[in-house]
Amino acid sequence: MTETGRHVGILGTGSYLPEKVLTNADLERMVDTTDEWITTRTGIKERRIAADDETASDMGAAAARNALANASIGPDSIDMIIVATITPDNYFPSTACLLQHKLGISDVPSFDLSAACSGFIYGVSVAKQFIRSGHAEHVLVVASEKLSAITDWSDRSTCILFGDGAGAAVLGPVDNGGILGEHLGSDGSGGDLLYCRATASRVNGPHGVSPVAVNTLQMQGNVLFKHAVRLMTDAALTVIKPLGIKTDDIKLIIPHQANIRILNAVGKKLGIDAETQLYLNLEKRGNMSAASTAIALAEAVEEGRVEKGDIILLDAFGGGLTWGAMVIQW
């Protein structure tokens, strides 16, 4: 879907990572695995783990404060809050409402959005519609995940992948550029490939103690791999072609940090220069579901990898199945 009319862009980004670092060496002492096995298959060396009493709203609020500061916008200028998460503090009230209170914001619509790893792109797309229509001027989009709370720490095929953290973006009108187009999709027939029956992360056990089986993430990795490569590639091509953009025009592709093999395969299918065009923080962050793309974007901006006028592509795939790609001119 391409856009005309009022330009909407990202005015500021921010991120937050918990202090605790869980390395592959730590995992070697927890399950039957090795650093070499994890690294060669996933590209991950370490990931962050939230404190037992640290919630998605806590992490999201910290990332939001950083994004507001980066955008030079006060909390009182925010007209709406969207939180993308699959690990909410509670079933209800929403994590967005709790985060709103922690930021000292009141009287604005706030709600959660569940689209797994595609959640940040979904959230930015929704925010854009409200700003374009004139129903909001500034929208705060936060992606925050405490995946450690729904991980089976005895399952070596999944516990090596996931980490915790939060990313945020402030959206508003811009003079030109901004979000040029996006493509979102879903296929519920693949819902049993990646799921968790219960996800209220606030009430699950401390890190290292797996919740009961019904509360842990379940994944069919081999099947998901094929879907991820195909759908992330298709989503990227679907959004750039109507815009007349070629992959060579893209300064940086910021994908969901799922697995190095998936990302390398997508890069190869798109024909990009992975060394210069593909942004990766997977090695030190792991897979943080919705927060992955948001944090990677914030870190890329902080590192100076994204500058005014650059064309960037966000690309994600996750449980649902869901997927999404978005082109932004910074």
Active site residues: 117, 256, 287
CA angle 96, 97, 99 (to 5 degrees): 65
Instruction: Enumerate residues 6+ apart whose C-beta is below 8 A from 140.
Output: 64, 67, 68, 78, 80, 81, 82, 168, 169, 170, 171
Spatial separation of the C-alpha atoms in residues 162 and 263, rounded to whole Å: 16
3-class secondary-structure state, position 31: coil
Give 278-317 as a DSSP string: B---HHHH-B-THHHHHHHHHHHHHTT-S-TT-EEEEEEE
Cα-flanking dihedrals φ and ψ of residue 300, to 5°?
-65, -40
Which of 56, 239, 71 lies closest to 139 in space, CA to CA?
Answer: 71
